[in-house]
Amino acid sequence: MGLRKVLTPFAPDQSGASGVLYSMGALIVIIDAGGCTGNVCGFDEPRWHESRSAVFSAGLRDMDAILGRDELLASKIKSAVERIGTSFVAVIGTPVPATIGTDYKALKRLIESKTDIPVVPVISNGMKLYNEGEKEAYKALIDEFASDEPANETEQLIIGMTPLTYGRDHRDLTLDDIRNIRGAKKLIAASSSGIDACEYLGKEFVIESPVYKDRIPEGIRGKTLVCHDEVAGKTLRDAGVDCDIATFFKLHDCVKQDGDKKITEEDEFIEMVRYGGYDTVAADICLKELVPDYDGNWVDLKCFAVSGRI
């Protein structure tokens, strides 16, 4: 049904898209009336309070949406580009363009014709989760910028280590990293969206979380349920933790083992904890409210996309 009685909604796809693009020097335009941008900058983007970045709302009004005034949007973007130095424009979708059926390819062409700089459209709709938005952003960036003959050969690139998954431990990619991504000698997928991006590139990659690779969080013991991004769970498993993975986000076949589960509803998590016989639950502490009667060991594995705690 999609009913949440205890938890608040998790980070949506548009926040994921913005998180990937944030460090790349783009002029980011969220196609909304203002509320979605407020959610991104005021809540889902921890870097916002530390460094200013060019994240704008399209400032849509009802008649802009009803009449599909893409020309007006393109003009506003042109005006902003003229005043703000940027190498490219990223436009990020929200429920509004999803409802009115915005044609992103046409919008890209329209804005490019006015601004003469590349436009990267990310098709997100606020109804999917952040990892999907990150995936779409990586794909759009690769399509636009990844060179088949990269100028530099990077030793290794870590994909998908965004603040929404890793909080303060995030590692940003630059636009040059994307340009040279096909020349990277080693690709590391650090999260679910990292796996999707690496698969999209069609290159060999390693699935591991640099945060948990050499660090099993203190307190994990016995049979454990890890509820986080799938790569965090897999890395802990690879490090020797006897665990099942539960994730509200994507669970790829290349990670999934018996006992692992992609969960959607609050009740599914409650059921796993109640009947799974786990000695330890390693998950963001906000999930404990779902299972107040669980008296086993709980290790707080922060996930910004879940709780918004950095």
Q: Which is nearer to another protein, 9 or 259 (CB)?
A: 9
Residue 35 interacting with another protein (CB under 8 A):
yes
Q: Which is nearer to another protein, 29 or 146 (CB)?
A: 29
162 binds another protein, rule: CB under 8 A: no
Q: Is residue 16 within 8 Å of residue 165, measured between CB atoms?
A: no
- Other C-beta atoms closer than 10 Å to the C-beta of 153 total 10
Q: Note whether 58 binds another protein by CB under 8 A.
A: yes
Residues constituting the chain: 310
b or e along 154-182 (b: 16 or more beta carbons within 10 Å of the residue's beta carbon)?
beebbbbbbbbbbbeebbebebebbbbbb
Nearer to another protein, 36 or 282 (CB): 36
Please list, in sequence order, all residues whose beta carbon lies within 8 angstroms of the beta carbon of residue 202, skipping any fewer than 6 positions away: none
Residue 294 interacts with another protein (CB under 8 A)? Answer: no
Distance in Å, CB of 73 to another protein, minimum: 9
For another protein, the closer of residues 115 and 235 by Cβ is 115
d(CA 22, CA 11): 15
Q: Is the dihedral of CA 234, 187, 40, 109 positive or negative?
A: negative
At 280, list the tokens. Answer: 């330890």
Identify the CA nearest to 196 among candidates 137, 145, 238, 124: 137
Q: Which is nearer to another protein, 5 or 185 (CB)?
A: 5
Q: Is 204 helix (H, G, I), strand (E, B) or coil?
A: coil
Binding span for another protein by CB under 8 A among 61-69, 152-160, 178-186, 236-244:
61-69
Q: Is 67 in the site for another protein (CB under 8 A)?
A: no
Residue 310 interacting with another protein (CB under 8 A): no
Is residue 84 at the binding interface for another protein, with CB under 8 A as the rule? Answer: yes
Measured from the CB atom, the residue of 68 and 150 that comes closer to another protein is 68
How near is the Cβ of 90 to another protein at its closest, in Å?
Answer: 13
The answer to whether the beta carbons of residues 163 and 47 sit under 8 Å apart is yes
Residues that bind another protein (CB under 8 A): 1-5, 8-15, 29, 32-44, 48-49, 52, 54-62, 65-66, 76-77, 79-80, 82-85, 94-96, 98-100, 125-129, 307-308
